[in-house]
């Protein structure tokens, strides 16, 4: 239940009629009600999002037709069209995150492949660095293998490449947006041995921004949570212009990290955030994923 799976197993309701059995039945009933409530919430938001798209589509058509009859109203029509486009983008992101959550946090095996996380991170970091080039923020990809593993397999996981690319891109872009000019955004990869047969990768995305109040560290992964302006928009005009033109605008709606969390959960991983404790202000987003075997 703590991981978001509220469905109780059948064995809980079959433990007899003693005090422990009655308690187990109550827990099973509660968990099932929570599961139904959560499913209803997600379904309602998804339905609302889908229903909003039809009137928005008609609004866009009406806007284009009006241009022929009211040429002097171009300025206002452009504004209407801009807001309609933003609404469509927002609805698309809501549908996306609901789709991820409705998958019961399980990535489908047929959509998965072997992925070199180090290469993926560096590719994304270089792309995002180019977008924010005028902030002079340097990208660094650090690798820290344990002593028992020296080959590239340490950085391979099995997952959905498109989804993981989206998750890490959201986190890395968020780090660039909130880092100060002439600073460094870095990623650090560590291989952590759990047993002789299982390992995990801990990926840390580290920025040099203002950090976040400790009370808000968990909230940033919730949909539509937007903190103070310094954690929301690029500080440079060029970066702001480029970011507005990209297809990934989740940060503007407070959905980027929520989508990242849903994707990481679907890959049986965990994501969390903490403030830096090395004498430099900034945020560290840590992602733990199981290593392929």
Q: Are 176 and 130 in contact (CB under 8 A)?
A: no
pLDDT at position 232, please?
A: 42
Please, what are the domains in the chain?
10-102 (1.10.287.130), 110-290 (3.30.565.10)
pLDDT at position 123, please?
A: 94
> Which two three-digit tokens encode residue 22?
């009655």
**Would you place residue 59 in the very low, low, confident or very high pLDDT band (cuts 50, 70, 90)?**
confident
pLDDT at position 186, please?
A: 94
Give the C-alpha separation, 225 to 255, whole Å.
8
Render pLDDT for 126-155 as a digit per residue (tens, 0 to 9). Answer: 999 998 889 999 999 886 554 444 444 468
> Which two three-digit tokens encode residue 216?
């808000």
**Would you place residue 90 in the very low, low, confident or very high pLDDT band (cuts 50, 70, 90)?**
confident
pLDDT of residue 70 exceeding 80: yes
pLDDT at position 102, please?
A: 58
Mean pLDDT across the stretch 9-17? 59
Render pLDDT for 225-237 as a digit per residue (tens, 0 to 9). Answer: 766 544 444 444 4
> Which two three-digit tokens encode residue 15?
């433990």
Pairing relationship of beta strands 138-144 and 184-193 according to DSSP bridges: parallel
pLDDT of residue 287 exceeding 50: yes
Selected residue with higher pLDDT from 104 and 41: 41
Q: Which residues pair with 283 in a beta bridge?
A: 275
Helical packing angle, 237-245 and 117-131, nearest 10°: 120
Mean pLDDT across the stretch 266-274? 91
pLDDT of residue 6 exceeding 70: no
Mean pLDDT across the stretch 271-282? 92
Nearest to 191 by CA among 136, 151, 228: 151
40 burial level (CB within 10 Å; 0-12, 13-18, 19+): exposed
């Amino acid at each position: 239940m703590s991981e978001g799976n509220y469905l109780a197993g059948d064995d809980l309701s079959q433990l007899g009629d003693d005090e422990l059995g009655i308690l187990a039945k109550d827990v099973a009933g509660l968990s099932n009600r929570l599961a139904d409530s959560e499913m209803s919430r997600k379904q309602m938001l998804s339905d609302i999002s889908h229903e909003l798209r039809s009137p928005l589509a008609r609004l866009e058509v009406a806007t284009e037709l009006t241009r022929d009859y009211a040429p002097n109203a171009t300025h206002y029509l452009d504004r209407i069209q801009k807001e309609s486009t933003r609404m469509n983008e927002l609805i698309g992101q809501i549908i996306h995150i609901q789709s991820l959550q409705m998958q019961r946090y399980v990535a489908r095996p047929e959509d998965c492949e072997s992925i070199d996380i180090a290469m993926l991170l560096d590719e994304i970091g270089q792309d995002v660095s180019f977008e924010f080039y005028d902030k002079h923020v340097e990208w660094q990809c650090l690798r820290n293998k344990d002593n028992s593993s020296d080959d590239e397999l340490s950085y391979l996981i099995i997952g959905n490449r498109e989804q993981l690319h989206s998750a890490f891109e959201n986190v890395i872009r968020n780090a660039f947006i909130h880092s100060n000019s002439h600073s460094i955004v870095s990623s650090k990869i560590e291989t952590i041995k759990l047993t002789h047969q299982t390992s995990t990768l801990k990926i840390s995305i580290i920025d040099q921004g203002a950090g976040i109040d400790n009370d808000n560290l968990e909230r940033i992964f919730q949909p539509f949570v937007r903190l103070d302006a310094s954690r929301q928009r690029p500080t440079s005009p060029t970066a702001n212009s480029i970011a507005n033109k990209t297809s990934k605008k989740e940060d503007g709606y407070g959905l980027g990290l929520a989508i990242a969390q849903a994707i990481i959960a679907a890959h049986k991983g965990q994501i969390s955030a903490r403030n830096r404790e090395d004498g430099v202000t900034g945020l560290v987003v840590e992602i733990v994923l199981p290593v392929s075997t």
